[in-house]
A = this chain, B = another copy of it.
Amino acid sequence: MTVAQPTGDELVEMLAALANPLRLRIMAKLAEGRDYVSHLAREIGVSRPLLHMHLQRLEAAGLITGSFELSDDGKAMKYYEVAEFDLHLTAAALVAAAQTLTSSEPTTGPAPKERSR
């Protein structure tokens, strides 16, 4: 209740972001505590560029937030942490979400005809 419901498009983006084993693992790891990119990559066991890509996807979906910070020895570290979210997926929720979808409206394209042979 405290969280605003996402639009249909936003919901699709969030679901797509979570629908990946590696990203699910990333979310789980960050849920245990914030971390910076290189350390997280070693922790999970993936290459840093790959993790970077997945973090971008998660951040774009609004599931995590990144912030730059300077460590004691002057290195620029990018810390990520999970954002607050609470998605409740039920049949009724999907009906509501589908009404706010923008991509390829059913009214846009002419109904594809199919001749019976």
Look across to chain B and name the residue whose beta carbon is closest to the beta carbon of A113: B47
Which residues on the B side are within 8 Å of A106 (C-beta)? 25, 44-45
A72 CB within 8 Å of chain B: no
- Tallying the copies of this chain within the complex gives 2
- Please report the C-alpha to C-alpha distance between residue A24 and residue B16 in the assembled complex, in whole angstroms: 12
Which residues on the B side are within 8 Å of A98 (C-beta)? 24-25, 27-29
- Please report the C-alpha to C-alpha distance between residue A93 and residue B12 in the assembled complex, in whole angstroms: 19
Look across to chain B and name the residue whose beta carbon is closest to the beta carbon of A8: B24
CB contact list, A52-104 vs B, under 8 A: 82, 85-92, 94-95, 97-99, 101, 103-104
Instruction: State whether B112 touches A47 (Cβ < 8 A).
Output: yes
Q: How far is the CB of A17 from chain B (nearest CB, A)?
A: 8
Apart from A27-B91, A27-B98, A45-B112, 7 more pairs, CB < 8 Å: A15-B15, A15-B18, A16-B19, A18-B94, A29-B98, A31-B91, A46-B112
Which residues on the B side are within 8 Å of A99 (C-beta)? 28
